Each structure stands twice: as structure tokens, then as C-alpha cells.
Structure 1
Amino acid sequence: MDFDLPKPKQHNLIYSIVGVRRCGKTFFLYQLMDRLMREGVPRDRIFHFTLDDERVMPFSERTLSDLLDAYYKLVPEAVEGCYLFLDEIQEAPCWTNFVRRISEQRKVTIVLTGSSSKLLSKDIPTHLRGRSLSKEIWPLGFDEYCDFRGVVHEGVESLTAEAAGRLEVAFFEYLQVGGFPAVQNMLPLDRVQLLQGYAAEIVTKDVLERFETTSIRVAERFARNALRSTGLKFSVNNQLKDIRAAGMSASNEKLYALLDDLEDAHLVFRVNDYTLSIKENPRSSSKVYSVDPGLALAVAPASHLDVGQRLETAVFVELKRRFGADRTNVIATYSAVDCPEVDFIVGDVALGDQHQLLQVAVRTGAEAGLGLSPDRLPKKYKSEIGNLETAMKRSGLDTGAVITLSEEAEFPVSSGTVRLVPAWKWFLGR
């Protein structure tokens, strides 16, 4: 992640690290502190404190001020400039007033994290509106997964066939394991159990305790169905019927609010159809995506092994890493009367990003020696290429990509060029 901290001074922006539970926010703070020290910042100019430490509880309104005063007494030179890393900031009362005051009056660079039902990912920038810059942390991307597993991925274009084969295998494993750091070296059954616990913890602590949106049974069933629907259209109306059929009470309003809460907690995300309209329609038809393909697999039925859904989920999360932000339609699906759906159209033209059209398919049929002309592909694959070709015509783009598990090719269509790219290569930025 590109995250350059400014040198300490008055009126610096306040930086916040946000993301789903257990994705590594605290460890990222350690990495930032380590980088500062390697760049020559003295260790005693870096103050790190985790505010869920029971030794400083119960908190008073002066606890944060007393902690900082004690630090300045121990390191008087820090008054001339220091870095403050405050983890689990939500535990302290009046923390917003403290952080604003210190940023205005002291020569500091402040980095915050927060989680739990008391403070969700969007709360820190909301409380510090106009004064903060937030950075999202995600479970491990494929490049980080390779680093974690010791899989060589540098110089992708010049890799041997054997090395490329290892990356292809590693990517397929990534779709099963996912990117949560703690599960990487666990046995499959233990991994599934822990990931199921993550999902349950997010529902109970980050949603129900905070918002009391609905009952625990309704929330757990709804969240589980959303995770199982990753990469698919998700109808709140259908979920309402399912919940009522199971003998539970719910309403459309509560379920839409619950979906908002799950998204605030970074558990699932909605992707709407691409539109040029400036009006938002939060209840329009949308697809949902899990924050992690491994998490989606963990909550799925044992008989459900849809690699395509997990591949599309992994692509979505990678797009979130690359494009980030909360601007509407940076990541969207593309559909029209003569084009049922292209999985993603991405880009922010206001920021100079040209739009890209991306289709996701485990296979396209090209590897079967059927030729690279769309009209020679099997019927079940024609729609993938045909929809992409139509979307290229309608959008004025002359290129489109199909992300596959292993196929690689490039061929002309009536509106330009379609490229088939192996997922492992696309994820590594090639």
C-alpha cells in the first residue's frame, strides 16, 4: 500500500487505518513504525499505545491526555515532533476532541485504528470529517499470499514454465484459503472453523451489538446467505421470503438496513449496474461480494464448490485494492438490452482513469483447440465473449479482458481486441 506519512507538524491530517476484523490493521501499524525507524526516525519519537489494555482501565476523560503527558515527560525531545500510533481508539471517551486538539496544538503525525461494535470502519473518518485521511486494509492479496508462502513471483514475464505452473497452483489454493493472515498455515477444517467464527463475530459484535437492527437468528441467516451469494445477484425481497418461511419476523426496511450494516463492517459489498445518472438508487438490483474468497467458501455448504464465484470474488476484492475509495460506480457491472452482463466496468474518469471492461470466466473454451473466433466457441462460452464484445461497442472501448484460471491469448473482435489473461498473472499486475 502506498502510505507515506508526513513529518510531524501542527495541523497535519489525521490518518486512520480501516478494514474488516482480523485483516491485519494492527500489524500494519507495526510495519509503519518499523519503516520509520529504518528511515532514521529515533525509536523514542514513536509512541504506540493499544487502548484496549486493561492496565489503563477504566478510562476517564483525561486518560488520553495523561498518557501523552507521561510520554512527553519521559521523552522531552518528542515535543519537537513525534509520531502517535493509537490502536483501538474507540475505547477512550472523548477521543475525537483529544485527537483534534493534539493535531492542532502539537507537532505530531497521528495514525489511528479502531474496530468492534463501538466503532466501525467508516466511523473514524466520519468523526474527523475534513481533518482525516483513511486507508483501507484488506486480507492478503495474491502477491502478499505468495510472499507469505514463499512462492517466487518477481519477473513474471520471464518465468519458466515450471515457475508459472507453481503460480497457477498457488492461485488456485489462494481461492480456497483466502487472505486472512491467521488462517494461512492451518489445517483445512481448523481454517474453516476459524473463518466461520470471524463471520459470526462480525455479525454479532460489529452489527447487532451496535445497531440492534434485528434478531440474531435473522442477522446470521441473512449474512450467511449474502456470503454464499458472493458474485451473484442478491435480492432482499427473496431473502425476506426465505426468512419468513423459516418462521422468523423481518421486514424489507430492516433487511436493507442490515445489508448497509454488513457493508459498513466490510463483510460484504454491493456492486450496482453502471449508469451515467447522478442519482443513486440504493435499492436497485445489485450483486454482492464477500470480503474474501476463503471466507465465502468457509460458510458455504460442503457440497458447494463453485470456483467461478470465488474467482470473481477475488477479482472484485483486488479491484477494491487498486481503485479503492467510495465514489459511486468506480466498480460496477455493465448491462444493456442486448448485453445481459459484463462482470465489471472499472475506472474513475474524473481522476484520469480510463474505463476497463473485465469479464471473469474459469474457462472460455479456447484451450480446447476450438480456435479464437467467438463464433467457434461452445455455446456456454459464447455469451462471455459476446457480452464483452457488445459492451465494448456500446462503451466505445476497443479492448476488453477475460480473466481466466489458466488461458492466455489475444484475438480480434468486431469492436477491437479481447485478451484472455490467467488470473495469477492479472493479479500480479501483468
Structure 2
Amino acid sequence: MSVSKDVIKQCLISMQHEVDEAMIINRPIDFEENGNYVIVGVRHAGKSYLLYQRVRQLQAAGKGWDEILFVNFEDERLAEFQTEDFNSLLEAHLELYGKKPVVFLDEVQNIPHWDKFVRRLADAKYQVYVTGSNAKMLSKEVATTLGGRFFIYDTYPYSFKEYLAAQQMELREHWEFDTIQRSQVKRHLNEYFYYGGLPEILLFKNKRAMLSSLYQKIYLGDICARNNIKNDRVLNILVKKMAESVKQPLSYNRLKNVIVTTGSSISVPTTIDYVDYASDSWLILSMENEVGKLTEKEMQKKYYFVDNGLLNLFLMNSETSLLENMVAVELCRRFGKKNVFFLNAEKEIDFIVPDGKLAIQVSYSIKNVNTYNKEVPPLVKYAKAHQDWNCLLITYDEEGMEEGIPIVPVWKWLMEV
């Protein structure tokens, strides 16, 4: 069943009002003036608001709504939208304004053949911005269809700097030496640490309940329903095990065995599929061993959650896991998730970024002698072998220098860039 052009026009006008009235926290993305973009990421990470931000920039440059077409495919009025309705979008805008628009397609991933439509728009010299919550949008087939004409932008939850901006925290020069401001930053860090940086969560007092609701939406909607998973209990066990093991490499076989011990039957190939589904929905980020053999890189990875708040739903006594997860997500944000590794050779280094010549250990505290001996010597050894690298140890709130290695509190490291 097709959607009528009158309904499409109603949706277009509604979105104009919504964008005009939205409160926006500008995020640090420099859009190419003539670029086309596919913006992806977990649900509620702020992808739509990046589009709103871009619309505001175009409006500031002199474009009006007569030159901007913005449609949100999660609008229930478009529930029956089909591939053949894409042309009706352009026709509806043309009938309203008679001009060729810049096209914004929000959460388009569930419309069949969306990629072919946007490629056709690009070929016709339209400027196009697309968002979606499914990493399958970046499959090789889609990349081939888009023909290299689109920039791919990964959207993460707020960085700590963006979180502070959203909390209307204005930092003065040399704030880190100001006792009051430094204590305010640390207070905000505590909330960010446990509840994460998903923009919508900031609006609610009962953040854990909202995070739980969001997880159910990702888990039931983006994973189970989309992939026709009948046994959601098995998937829930798998996600919980990945959360509990967030600091250790996990093999598919180990995940399978954990599920089998709970009385459920599952094969290794199905386990691999379920992990891929969780990754495709942007719930988890996978990380490879930098020196591992090809099969080991593929079969034994570390898994981190895209947001600390989502990870914390599954954990008790969570501080060490949450700290490492926070650093992992920030590194993926800064360098790209395909450029961050762990090192598991004689001794483990938590994070290696070859492109940035950066090696990082993460420890909540190194006051305990056993913890110190586990974390510091491997990093010292690595630093001696890589003298042009930046090697540091990140803690929650300890600072100093140990055997030539900078010890940096996470709040200070998060504010560096």
C-alpha cells in the first residue's frame, strides 16, 4: 500500500516545525559544503539532531524550507511507505515549493532499496543526508551502490565535553586549577560514568529505567524482530555474558558454551550470527588483537558497549569495567572503531592505536601492589620498545608519573581534545 502525497506533505510540514523548535547542542562535525552523508549509530545517539544542526547551518547560509526536504521514516504516518513512494517525496516537495531541495532522510534503514534511491539522487546532483540505526547500511553491497559518493559518519553518544555542554556547564580558562569548577566537572563525570551520554537520558531523573526501556527497544526491535530471532532468552544470555566479560577477549566457542550451560542449545555459527546482530544494531563495539593471527583476530575479540549506561544495566561492582569501557568508546570516537586494538602477547596492553602511536593501560586505581605490578611493567616495557609512542595509564582519579609513564585521571584525559 502506497502513502498518499497529501500524507507526505503533512509529514514534511510537521518536520519543519519540529526542526525549527528543537533545542540543539552543536556537535563537532564539519560538514563538507557539497558533501553527501550517511550518518549511522545506536538509537537515540543524536543522529537526528545532527541533521537538525545541518539544517540550521543551511538556513544561516540563506536556504529556506522551500529548498530543504526533511522526512523522518519513524513517523507512524509513513508506516506503509514502500520503495515506489520515494519519487512521491520529491513530487510532494515540488508541488509545495517548485524548487529542487537538499534532501534529509532520517532513519531510512527499513525502507527496501533506500540505497539505490539516494544513489540516484546523488547522480542527479541532489545533496543528500541519510541516517540509520543499522550497521548493515555499511555493508559492501551498499558501499558499492553508493559508489564512493557519500561520507560515512559514525555517531556516538555524547563525549564528556558534549555532555558538559548539554548540562550548560561553562568552563573558564584554567578551570582545572579552580577548586569549584574542578569539583563540578568531577560530579558530572560520576553521572556520565554510570549513566552514559545518550542525549535523551539527560532529560530524565530515573535514568536507569529509561536506559532499560531503550535496551529493550534495541534488543527486541533492532535485533530480535529484524533478524527473526525466536529464542530471545538465548540472545539475552549472550549479551549479559559479553557485558560481564567486557575487559577480556571472548571466543565464539566460549560464548556458545556459556549458553549451553544454561540449558539452551546453540551452535557456534548461530552464536556468531547473534554477535553480529548485536554489532549491527550498534549495541556493542568489537575490538581485535593487534598481533593476533588472522583466525584469532576473527574468532577471539573484546566486546565493549557503545554507552556506559547500557553496559551498567548488566553489572554489579562495575567500576573497573565501566572505566575501561568509557576509554574504549572515547578511543573509537576519536580514531574510528576500525583503528583501535588491544595487544595480547606476553602481557596485555588494553588499547593500541597504531595510527595515533598511542598505547593505553586502564586501571581504576594502582594503589594496590598487585594491580600496579600487573598494569605498569607491561606498559613500561612497551614504551621502551616504542620510544616515539605516547604511552599512558588512565585511572579514575589518580595522577602522577610511574617509571616514566604518565598516570592520568580519566576526567582530565576526556577533556584533552
- TM-score (norm. length: structure 1): 0.82
Structure 1 SS opposite 2:226: helix
Question: Which has more helix, going by share of residues?
Answer: 2
Contact 1:19 1:121 in 2 (8 A): no
Q: CA 1:305/1:149 → structure 2, altered by over 3 Å: closer, same or farther? A: farther
Q: Name the residue aligned to 1:364.
A: 366
Inter-CA distance 156–146: structure 2 relative to 1 (3 Å threshold): farther
Quickly say closer, same or farther: Cα 1:134–1:379, change in 2 above 3 A. same
Deviating more after overlay: 399-408 vs 18-27: 399-408
CA distance in 1, matches of 2:331, 2:174: 20
Map 1:188-267 to 2 at 5 A.
Answer: 190-212=206-228, 215-267=231-283
1:424 corresponds to: 411
Distance in 2 between residues matched to 1:21 and 1:292, nearest whole Å? 11
Are 1:346 and 2:353 an aligned pair?
yes
CA contact (8 A) 2:394 2:410 kept: yes
C-alpha distance after superposition, 1:91-142 (max 9, x if no partner): 4444333222221124x210011237xx745356465253322101111111
Q: CA deviation digits over 1:168-189, x for unaligned, max 9?
A: 22212211111112222433xx
The answer to whether the 8 Å contact 1:146/1:153 transfers is no
Change (3 A) 1:214 1:397: farther
Give the corresponding residue for 1:373: none
| Length, aligned pairs only | 389
Counterpart in the other structure of 1:379 = 370
Corresponding residue number in structure 2 for 1:312? 324
Report 1:1-40 matches (<5 A).
2-7=28-33, 14-40=36-62
Q: Distance in 1 between matches of 2:33 and 2:321?
A: 44
Q: Please state how far the C-alpha of 1:20 moved relative to its aligned partner.
A: 0.7
For 2:287 and 2:111, locate their aligned partners in 1 and report how far apart those are by CA, in whole Å: 35
Pick aligned residue for 1:295 from 310, 326, 338: 310
Distance in 2 (alpha carbons) for counterparts of 1:240 and 1:112: 36
2:196 and 2:310 in contact (8 A); partners too: yes
Displacement after TM superposition at 1:59 (Å): 3.0
Q: 1:98 aligns with which of 106, 117, 126?
A: 117
Which residue of structure 1 aligns with residue 396 of structure 2? Answer: 405
Distance 1:394 1:185 in 2: 47
Which one-letter code corresponds to 1:418 in the other structure?
I
Moved more, 36-45 or 131-140: 36-45
1:324 to 332, 336, 341: 336
Q: Conserved in 1, the CA contact under 8 Å of 2:291 and 2:344?
A: no
Is contact 2:248–2:302 with CA below 8 Å preserved after alignment?
A: yes
Rounded Cα–Cα distance in structure 2 between residues aligned with 1:53 and 1:399: 47
The answer to whether the Cα contact below 8 Å between 1:229 and 1:289 also exists between their aligned partners in 2 is: no
Q: Structure 2 vs 1, CA of residues 233 and 281 (structure 1 numbering), >3 Å: closer, same or farther?
A: closer
| Contact 1:213 1:254 (C-alpha < 8 Å) held by counterparts | no
Query: CA contact under 8 A between 1:274 and 1:332: conserved in structure 2?
Result: yes
Amino acid at match of 1:426: W
| CA drift at 1:389 | 0.5
Gaps of 5+ in 2: 1-26
How far apart are the structure 1 equivalents of 2:177 and 2:326? 23
Secondary structure, counterpart of 1:184 in structure 2: helix
Which residue of 1 is the match for residue 199 of structure 2? 181
Residue 136 (str. 1) matches residue 154 (str. 2): yes
Larger mean CA deviation between 356-365 and 120-129 belongs to 120-129
Instruction: Please tell me whether the aligned partners of residues 87 and 112 of structure 1 are also in contact (alpha carbons under 8 angstroms).
Output: yes
> Relative to 1, partners in 2 of residues 1:398 and 1:290: Cα closer, same or farther, differing over 3 Å?
closer
For 1:83, which of 102, 113, 119 is the aligned residue? Answer: 102
Change (3 A) 1:395 1:71: same
1:269 alignment partner, SS class: strand
In structure 2, how many angstroms separate the alpha carbons of the residues matched to 1:146 and 1:2? 14
Are 2:383 and 2:391, in contact at CA under 8 Å, matched by a contact in 1?
A: yes
Contact residue 88 and residue 114 of structure 1 kept, 8 A: yes
2: distance between equivalents of 1:255 and 1:168? 40
CA distance in 1, matches of 2:64, 2:414: 37
Residue 58 of structure 1, aligned match among 76, 80, 94:
80
- Check whether the contact 1:192–1:298 (CA below 8 A) recurs between aligned residues: yes
Identical pairs, percent: 27
**Structure 1 residues 288 and 93: CA distance shift in structure 2, 3 A:** closer
3-state SS in 1 of match to 2:109? helix
**Who is 2:345 aligned against?**
336
Normalised by the size of structure 2, how large is the TM-score?
0.85
